[in-house]
Amino acid sequence: MLSFFKFNDPIRLVGIILLLLLLRLPYMWMGTPVTQPEMLWLLVGERISEGFMLYTDIRDNTAPLSALIYGGLHFIFGRTLWPYHLLASFIIFLQSAYINSLFLSHKSYDENTYLPAFITVLLFHFSYDLLTLSPVLLGSTFLLLAIGQLFSLATINQNNTEAIVLLGLFAGLAPCFHFPLLFFLPVMILTGLFISNFNFQELLLSIVGYFLPLSIIGLFFFWNGAFMDFVQGLMSPGWKLDSLAHVSYRELLYVMAFPIGFTVFGYLATSLWGRLYIHQQKQKQIVMIYGLGAVLLVFLNYRVIAYQFIPFIPLMVFFINHLILRNERLFVQSVLFYALLISVPFFGYSWFFYKKNDKSFSDYALKIEEKHAIGNGSKLLVLGKDLAYYHSASPATGFLNFNLSKKHLLEVEDFDKMHVTMANFQKDPPEWVIDQEGVFSSILPYYPILQEAYTPRRPGIYELKKGSQFP
């Protein structure tokens, strides 16, 4: 298999497609669940397709272009996940092909092979949730395009105005899909100044290009009277929100140990074994600055889940491929190749099997139980982390993201926010309220109309009384 991918022949991309399909089969055999974030993306898409305004009518911090894609998928296909998975697989294939083309065209290695595409596909299988249509996956596609422009500017030693504008535009589109990807802004500035030797005009041009996409989207919300909702919703800093752990850090270390280990040894290989050409040294510097910037993701994200580390995959591919190719002995190359091929998917599959049989599985994905049938076919509001209640029900009100909604609902001394809360219930009253953490019960005394309209059926479950109307 190693010799197959070492040939510089585009037909190898067919092998990449087959590999992508084959590596997914074990997950399908074990049963692919709906992850908790996926359920939220489905709900956001449903509300968007119904004409509700993001951030104003939908309290969530999903970036606007991702929400637009989710809305479009729901409008065309309804609430079903297979279009999400199909599109995610297509994007993963495009990313693997682009990474390979990028390294080939800029001669990042002494040999021209399709190993970078192979390694990219493998790394996307160290955890199941990397295969979902996450905002990180969507946004990281444009980060790759921006890295391509950085490579071009560093390689040709001549700054091209078109490349500088494209660099800013591609980098600026990424946070429009997932806002924490704004970490690339300081990466762009540092690499532009110290590697590509930008002058002031070129630096300013790249920064203007960077903020252009966000400015256009902000202008859209401004004309619709929702600019402050846009700012507060999109730019909610992760460190100010309660951490939402879908997996533990120990589990993340388990699935990422081998990719990290291979990456570290790959870095050492570029530093200790042989020499890099000047353009390769510049590429290494770009990738290292990019990796240091990507560490900011840890602080900008409040969800603890493996797909948040997708932006690290280009860095890992760069060094892992160096690790394999810088060993001149074919036997050593084969050992490294097959060790990577076996270890990365194995740890992903074994963790997924363990997680499905662990009591914490409901933190990661929907675990449908008898209690979740209470709202089947109804409109309900879930105030808690368990979104499985929405599996066969429709969302009501705009309070989809509990982390954001909780803070808003509990500010009962802010009359503007109380007015927004009441307006949500008046516009789209839920038939059931699932109060998992006691938020609804604590605010009811401040809303006499709601207290009159809802009756408790069991602890944490409220039902709308028949005939109840909101003035």
Report how far Cα 103 is from the mean position of its chain's Cα atoms: 24
Determine what percent of the chain is predicted with pLDDT higher than 70. Answer: 97
Q: Is 70 exceeded by the pLDDT of residue 241?
A: no
More confident residue, 73 or 465: 73
* Least trusted range by pLDDT, from 4-8, 179-183, 303-307: 4-8
Whole-number average pLDDT of the chain: 91
Q: Is 90 exceeded by the pLDDT of residue 155?
A: no
pLDDT at 463: 93
Q: How far apart are CA 167 and CA 218, in angstroms?
A: 21
Stretch 59-79: mean pLDDT, rounded? 95
pLDDT at 349: 96
Listed as own residue / partner, the contacts of 201-204 with beta carbons closer than 8 Å and 24 or more positions apart are: 202/159, 202/161, 202/164
Stretch 82-90: mean pLDDT, rounded? 96
* Least trusted range by pLDDT, from 11-15, 235-239, 392-396: 235-239
Q: Is 80 exceeded by the pLDDT of residue 364?
A: yes
Q: Does residue 334 contact residue 141 with C-beta atoms inside 8 Å?
A: no
pLDDT band at 236 (very low <50, low <70, confident <90, very high): low
- Give the CA-trace dihedral at 304, 352, 90, 175, to 10 degrees: 0
Stretch 401-428: mean pLDDT, rounded? 90
Q: Which residues pair with 221 in a beta bridge?
A: none
pLDDT at 413: 87
Q: Is 70 exceeded by the pLDDT of residue 240?
A: no
pLDDT at 471: 63
pTM for the model stands at 0.95
Q: Which of 100, 95, 165 is nearest to 137 (CA)?
A: 95
pLDDT band at 42 (very low <50, low <70, confident <90, very high): very high
pLDDT at 191: 93
Stretch 272-298: mean pLDDT, rounded? 88
pLDDT at 461: 94
pLDDT at 329: 85
pLDDT band at 262 (very low <50, low <70, confident <90, very high): very high
Q: How do beta strands 461-464 and 454-458 pair? A: antiparallel
349's CB contacts (< 8 A; 6+ apart) are 26, 27, 30
pLDDT band at 466 (very low <50, low <70, confident <90, very high): confident
Q: Which of 407, 419, 53, 400 is nearest to 222 (CA)?
A: 53
pLDDT at 157: 61
- Taking residue 394's Cβ as centre, other Cβ atoms within 10 Å add up to 18
Q: How far apart are CA 347 and CA 261, in angstroms?
A: 13
pLDDT band at 4 (very low <50, low <70, confident <90, very high): confident
Q: Is 80 exceeded by the pLDDT of residue 299?
A: no
pLDDT at 273: 77
Q: How far apart are CA 177 and CA 200, in angstroms?
A: 29
pLDDT band at 328 (very low <50, low <70, confident <90, very high): confident
Stretch 249-253: mean pLDDT, rounded? 94
Q: Is residue 52 classed exposed, middle or buried when 0-12, 13-18 and 19+ CB atoms within 10 A define those classes?
A: middle
Dihedral sign computed on CA atoms, order 65, 126, 296, 265: negative
**Domain boundaries defined on the chain:** 2-356, 370-464
Q: How do beta strands 461-464 and 432-435 pair? A: antiparallel
Q: Is 60 exceeded by the pLDDT of residue 459?
A: yes
Determine what percent of the chain is predicted with pLDDT higher than 90. Answer: 72
pLDDT at 267: 94
Q: Is 60 exceeded by the pLDDT of residue 237?
A: no
54: left (phi over 0), alpha (psi -120 to 50) or beta: beta
